[in-house]
Amino acid sequence: MRRKRHLIALDLDGTLLSNDQTVSEQTKNVLQQAINEGHIVVIATGRPHRSSRQYYDFLQLKTPMINFNGAFIHHPTNNTWERTLHNPFPKETALHIIDACYDFNVQNILAEVQDNVLLDRHDEQLMNIFGTPAPAGISSPFSIGDIRKQLRDDPTSILIYPHAEHVEELKNYLSEHHATMIGLRSWDAPWHMVEVIKKGIHKAVGIKRVADYYQIPQERIIAFGDEDNDLEMIDYAGVGVAMGNAIDELKQIANYVTLTNEEDGVRTFLESYFKYTVKVS
């Protein structure tokens, strides 16, 4: 008997991707088997489109994508998809935040308006991380210089690179002064980044929008994640799966804990859940 259609939502870093930023052929095969069976596979990531599209293409997806932790929901191969949603936060709030960053003497600030990137100070390492790989034919997304002078539109997100000892102080300041407008996320070492997006935006917003489009009920959403930006998505999904390498808070709210990203935890869970038999080389 044919299984009812599920939505499978995949975080990238620390989840679908191994530590060398690749997806195994075995995982690809299992996901292709799910797609062939009629299930909907989507990427749900904090990354922008330009640095997640190569995995979308590798998996041969033809579905919407959730970027910037839900702040940008779109369809990479269908520019007229009617559920496209871009949820930036006000430029005026962003400028106040940037002023505060200068007061805290942060190391750098990066503002993104979808796939256009404003970088406060030239930094090759940050540019390598956030600028590549870009889709073929797309020029460098970076504009470098004082962000206060460059910012013309409401930003999708702002990434702040403070000194490690200032992370909590900066977060507390931003929460105290801008809590009604923004949401904050922290990145782990070595970067100690603080990410700012619009308040109330998270991956669960994106997967609900996509699930509604495909008329898939909440109980048939399978979501995989490992970090604090996956909390709402894992909690919302009918089948929330934490990776073996996930933070403890995520494991506590998940329905299941699978193997780590280095052990193909996504593949092993789906094989078990759907009772697939896949030859592993």
Domains of the chain with CATH codes: 7-86+201-274 (3.40.50.1000), 91-198 (3.30.1240.10)
Lowest mean pLDDT among 113-122, 160-169, 242-251, 271-280: 271-280
pTM tops 0.75, yes or no: yes
How crowded is residue 112: how many other Cβ atoms within 10 Å of its Cβ? 24
CA angle, 228 then 135 then 137, to 5°:
155
Q: CB–CB of 42/216 below 8 Å? A: no
Q: State pLDDT tens for residues 248-260.
A: 999 999 999 999 9
| The pLDDT value given to residue 281 | 43
Residue 172 makes CB contacts below 8 A (sequence gap 6+) with none
Residue 101: predicted pLDDT: 95
**Dihedral pair phi/psi, residue 42, rounded to 5°:** -130, 150
| Separation between Cα atoms, residue 201 and residue 218, nearest integer Å | 18
Of 98-112, 133-147, 181-195, 241-255, which gets the smallest average pLDDT?
133-147
- How high is the pLDDT of residue 129? 74
Find out whether 156 and 105 touch, Cβ atoms under 8 Å.
no
Residue 74: pLDDT over 80: yes
CA angle 255, 261, 48 (to 5 degrees): 95
Tell me the mean pLDDT in the region 1-19: 91
Backbone angles phi, psi at 161, to 5 degrees: -115, 85
Catalytic residues: 11
The residue among 278 and 273 whose pLDDT is bigger is 273
Residue 53 CB-density burial (10 A; 0-12 exposed, 13-18 middle, 19+ buried): buried
Encode pLDDT of 190-236 as tens digits.
678 899 999 999 999 999 999 999 999 999 999 999 999 999 999 99
- Which span out of 14-23, 110-119, 129-138 was modeled with the highest average pLDDT? 14-23
Residue 132: its pLDDT value, please? 54
Query: Residue 139 has what pLDDT?
Result: 53
Average pLDDT, the chain: 92
pLDDT of residue 16 exceeding 70: yes
Q: Is the pLDDT of residue 271 over 50?
A: yes
